């Protein structure tokens, strides 16, 4: 869903019928917020943000030049999805204490936005956690998704909304469920602790007829854009995804997907130079190509066989431990934090791995990126969870050279080094991967 969006038929009429520039009607947005939690509301879409100030009585109003499409309405820590069309004159009332339950829209475009508010409440009513959903068997997962889609389709069908919006929202619901299903295999492996799980051929068949390069859907349907991200960017097989991306006709999709990969791509990419060159061939954006060159220079030093960046951090006894102190030992490093849910889910698997390789030539080092002010929380968790191995805490949270040198922008991150301090994998498999990490460790001299 991109910020520059015009209906092609309407544009054709404008260009054919008149040589004069046609001004797009603005969106007038106002509202009243009871028990306001912040001084403003924010309307955002992609990288574009508009702040609307709230007065002492809780009122706000502004006139905005916006293109048609979905936007995010944010107040404090609460947010919801809205749909705006040039010419809308919309007013919202809500109580910040009951944000989702109290939203009510009036004016032109109110029906569409009241529908979206009801849709959000319906989504919430499905209950269960993300883990619960993706831990289900394939059969139960499909049944749950079909049940949810039926209820959302029913809400859409019974809502008094414009036919144009109904068409877009029908696609949005459709691709929401396709997107949610697209990485079921990998997500189920993680949450069900079943690294060998594979979906059936029938499950994968639902993706064979999808057009993974529709420029129109990409511009107008948020969930289709999410699907493109899963397909081309959020994957460990960058070689395969870049090869497929080359066949996409939309240059916008190509540029956006390459930009997304550049923003999050960390070490652990096989044949790094080849992947970078593939992405440079895909994009026509000179600034993006420059970012690819910059990324390559940072990542090439983290390729297997290179010396590992060092660390010098404090352990639970207040003593500093350096990577150099572990010379002659293979090292498996876990970068984590006490507040990180996925990190904590790896703890049982890490304990098992440590136990199985006890008395072998490998050290298990856990480096917390908790801030110095949370040091006691870290010490308490190490004690309460009976964490083994070498437990260290960063000297400055995320802002430390070890984290920066390893391009760590998300945790947990696991790193495997050989006995000479050389990188085996700067983005090693997690303990929960089972056979994958064990085969990598077994390939070292650990006896």
Question: Which pTM value belongs to this model?
Answer: 0.77
In a domain, 124, yes or no: no
Residue partners of 435: CB distance under 8 A and separation at least 6: 195, 196
Cα angle vertex 258, ends 253, 260, to 5°? 95
Virtual torsion, Cα 287, 309, 385, 354, nearest 10 deg: 120
Task: For residue 66, give the CATH number of its domain.
Answer: 2.60.40.1120
For residue 34, list its beta bridge partners: 95
Six-digit token string for 430: 């997690």
Q: What is the pLDDT of residue 119?
A: 97
Residue 291 and residue 326 share a domain: no
E runs forming strands in 278-417: 312-315, 320-322, 330-336, 362-368, 390-393, 413-417
Rounded to the nearest 10 degrees, the angle between the axes of helix 184-191 and helix 138-157 is 120
In a domain, 115, yes or no: no
Total domain count, the chain: 3
Among candidate residues 280, 300, 320, the one where a domain is terminated: 300
Task: For residue 368, give the CATH number of its domain.
Answer: 3.40.30.10
Among candidate residues 300, 330, 358, the one where a domain is terminated: 300
Virtual torsion, Cα 271, 277, 282, 286, nearest 10 deg: 140
Residue 149 and residue 246 share a domain: yes
Q: What are phi and psi of 341, to 5 degrees?
A: -60, -50
Residue partners of 40: CB distance under 8 A and separation at least 6: 51, 52, 53, 54, 60, 75
Among candidate residues 109, 139, 155, the one where a domain is terminated: 109
Residue 261 and residue 135 share a domain: yes
Residue 136 and residue 38 share a domain: no
In a domain, 104, yes or no: yes
Q: Over its length of 447 residues, how does the chain's per-residue pLDDT go in tens digits?
A: 333 333 333 333 333 333 343 468 999 999 999 999 999 999 999 889 999 999 999 999 999 999 999 999 999 999 999 999 999 999 999 999 999 999 999 999 999 999 999 999 999 999 888 899 999 999 999 999 999 999 999 999 999 999 999 999 999 999 999 999 998 998 999 889 888 899 999 999 999 999 999 999 999 999 999 999 999 988 878 888 899 999 999 999 999 999 999 888 878 777 888 889 999 999 989 999 999 999 899 888 999 999 999 999 999 999 999 999 999 999 999 999 999 999 999 999 999 999 999 989 999 999 999 999 999 999 999 999 999 999 999 999 999 999 999 999 899 999 999 999 999 999 999 998 888 999 999 999 776
> CA 225 to CA 218: how far, in whole Å?
5
Cα angle vertex 326, ends 322, 329, to 5°? 155
Q: What is the pLDDT of residue 99?
A: 96
In a domain, 95, yes or no: yes
> CA 103 to CA 112: how far, in whole Å?
13
In a domain, 122, yes or no: no
Residue 17 and residue 68 share a domain: yes
Residue 157 and residue 88 share a domain: no
Q: What are phi and psi of 49, to 5 degrees?
A: -130, 140
Residue 142 and residue 235 share a domain: yes
Residue partners of 128: CB distance under 8 A and separation at least 6: none
In a domain, 305, yes or no: no
CB-based burial label for 113 (10 Å; 0-12, 13-18, 19+): buried
Residue 324 and residue 235 share a domain: no
Q: What residue numbers bound the domain in which 227 lies?
A: 130-300
Residue 144 and residue 100 share a domain: no
Residue 144 and residue 57 share a domain: no
Residue partners of 380: CB distance under 8 A and separation at least 6: none
| Nearest CA among 191, 195, 234 for reference residue 410 | 234
End-to-end CA gap in the chain: 54
Tell me whether strands 362-368 and 330-336 are parallel, antiparallel or unpaired: parallel
In a domain, 1, yes or no: no
Residue 149 and residue 294 share a domain: yes
Q: What is the pLDDT of residue 23?
A: 61
Residue 291 and residue 144 share a domain: yes
> CA 171 to CA 70: how far, in whole Å?
13
In a domain, 307, yes or no: no
């Amino acid at each position: 869903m991109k910020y520059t969006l015009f209906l092609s038929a309407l544009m054709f009429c404008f260009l054919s019928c008149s040589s004069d520039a046609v001004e797009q009607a603005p969106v007038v947005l106002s509202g009243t917020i009871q028990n306001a939690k912040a001084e403003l509301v924010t309307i955002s879409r992609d990288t574009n943000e508009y702040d609307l100030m709230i007065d002492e009585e809780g009122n706000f109003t502004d006139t905005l030049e916006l293109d048609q499409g979905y936007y995010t309405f944010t107040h404090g820590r609460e947010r919801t999805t809205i749909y705006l069309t040039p010419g809308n004159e919309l007013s919202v009332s809500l109580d910040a204490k009951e944000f989702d339950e109290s939203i009510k829209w009036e004016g032109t475009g109110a029906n569409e936005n009241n529908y979206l508010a009801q849709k959000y409440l319906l989504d919430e009513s499905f209950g269960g956690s993300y883990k619960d959903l993706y831990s289900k068997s394939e059969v139960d997962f499909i049944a749950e998704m079909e049940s949810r889609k039926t209820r959302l389709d029913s809400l859409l069908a019974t809502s008094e909304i414009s036919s144009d919006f109904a068409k877009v929202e029908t696609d949005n619901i459709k691709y929401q469920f396709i997107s949610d299903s697209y990485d079921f295999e990998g997500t189920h492996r993680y949450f069900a602790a079943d690294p060998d799980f594979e979906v059936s051929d029938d499950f994968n068949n639902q993706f064979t007829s999808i057009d993974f390069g529709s420029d129109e859907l990409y511009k107008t349907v948020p969930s289709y854009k999410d699907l493109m991200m899963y397909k081309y960017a959020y994957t460990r097989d960058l070689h395969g995804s870049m090869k497929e991306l080359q066949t996409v006709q939309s240059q916008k999709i190509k540029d956006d997907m390459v930009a997304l990969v550049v923003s999050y791509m960390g070490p652990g990419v096989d044949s790094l130079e080849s992947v970078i060159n593939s992405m440079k061939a895909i994009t026509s954006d000179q600034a993006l190509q420059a970012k690819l060159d910059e990324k390559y220079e940072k990542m090439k030093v983290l390729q297997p066989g290179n010396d590992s960046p060092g660390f010098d951090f404090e352990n639970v006894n207040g003593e500093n431990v350096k990577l150099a102190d572990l010379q002659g030992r293979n090292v498996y490093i876990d970068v984590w934090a006490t507040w990180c849910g996925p990190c904590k889910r790896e703890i049982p698997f890490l304990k098992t791995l440590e136990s199985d390789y006890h008395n072998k030539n490998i050290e298990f080092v856990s480096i917390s990126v908790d801030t110095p002010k949370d040091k006691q929380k870290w010490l308490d968790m190490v004690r309460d969870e009976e964490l083994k191995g070498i437990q260290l805490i960063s000297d400055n949270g995320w802002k430390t050279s070890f984290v920066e040198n390893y391009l760590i922008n998300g945790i947990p991150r696991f790193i495997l080094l050989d006995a000479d301090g050389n990188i085996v994998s700067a983005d090693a498999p997690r303990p929960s991967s089972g056979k994958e990490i064990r085969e990598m460790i077994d390939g070292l001299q650990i006896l």
